[in-house]
Amino acid sequence: MPHVVILSSSIRIDRASHRVALFMEHKVRERGWTADLIDLNALQFPLFEERLKHLPDPPASVTGFADRVRRSDGVVIVSPEYNGSIPASLKNVIDLLTDDWKGRPVALCAVSSGAFGGSQLTMQLLVPLWKIKAWVVQPALQVPKVKEAFDEQGLPGDAEAWDRRAAPVLDAIAWAMEANERMRT
Ligand SMILES: Cc1cc2nc3c(=O)[nH]c(=O)nc-3n(C[C@H](O)[C@H](O)[C@H](O)COP(=O)(O)O)c2cc1C
């Protein structure tokens, strides 16, 4: 059974993209997979100083985060778009773990309050994830007008429409996780 991390990236007061993280956690569990929702707001990470492998005395929050990502078969990144790009909180942890992203299936969920669903973020994220050799699957989930689409518990107003959009994203990461598993055996 695949084990999937859902990475909730926004640490902003009154954040809304966390709603999508809750929704994706639910969708992952619905498939019978195990899910680990990593909430960067709860971890309160220090600002990046150096990659984990070079840190002489990393804080427990950092090593604990790394262990949780290493235990996963795939990661669903849920992130807001800030100024057409990646929030610092997410870039912080992408840079931190370099080696651990290598070959790991990653699905992207871009979230915005505007009409375009974080499409610029999706493009921007491809560069660092490609550099560190993560296996980014297609398609990505794009969530525009997030507060209209999801409530605070992550329940969509139009469940059928959001199930239809989330399904191919999870199908794609399922394929990559299974391919990795088969290559290991
Ligand atoms: C610093 C900052 C920059 C933002 N830039 C964009 C943007 O470029 N495009 C967009 O559609 N929304 C932008 N937004 C709005 C976010 O999409 C909105 O806050 C949404 O709820 C997702 O972020 P959150 O999870 O932090 O709430 C920005 C918000 C902040 C705080």
20-74 confidence digits (pLDDT tens): 999 999 999 999 999 999 999 999 888 999 999 999 999 999 999 999 999 999 9
What lies within 8 Å, CB to CB, of 20 at 6+ separation is: 78, 109, 111, 141, 143, 146, 150, 154
Q: Mean per-residue pLDDT for 100-109? A: 96
Distance 122 CA to ligand 1 centre (A): 13
Res 184 pLDDT > 90: no
Q: How confident is the model at residue 98 (pLDDT cuts 50, 70, 90)?
A: confident
Which residue from 45, 60, 54, 112 is spatially nearest to 83, judged by alpha carbons? 112
Residue nearest (by alpha carbon) to ligand 1 atom 28:
82
Ligand 1 contact, 19 CB (< 6 A): no
Atom of ligand 1 nearest to the CA of 11: 26
Residue nearest (by alpha carbon) to ligand 1 atom 24:
15
Atom of ligand 1 nearest to the CA of 79: 25
Q: How far is CA 94 from CA 7, 11, 45, 153, 183, in A?
A: 11, 15, 12, 27, 25
Q: Are 40 and 89 in contact (CB under 8 A)?
A: yes
Atom of ligand 1 nearest to the CA of 146: 21
Ligand 1 contact, 145 CB (< 6 A): no
Q: In this predicted structure, what is the pLDDT of residue 185?
A: 78
* Residue 9: other Cβ atoms inside 10 A: 30
Q: How far is CA 86 from CA 97, 110, 168, in A?
A: 16, 10, 23
Q: How confident is the model at residue 99 (pLDDT cuts 50, 70, 90)?
A: confident
Which residue from 110, 115, 113 is spatially nearest to 139, judged by alpha carbons? 110
Q: Determine the 3-state secondary structure of 114 from DSSP.
A: coil
Q: What's this model's pTM, rounded to 2 decimal places?
A: 0.97
Ligand 1 contact, 112 CB (< 6 A): yes
Q: Which of 6, 8, 12, 15 to mutate to test the pocket of ligand 1 (most atoms within 8 A of CB)?
A: 12
Cis amide bond preceding 139, omega within 30: yes
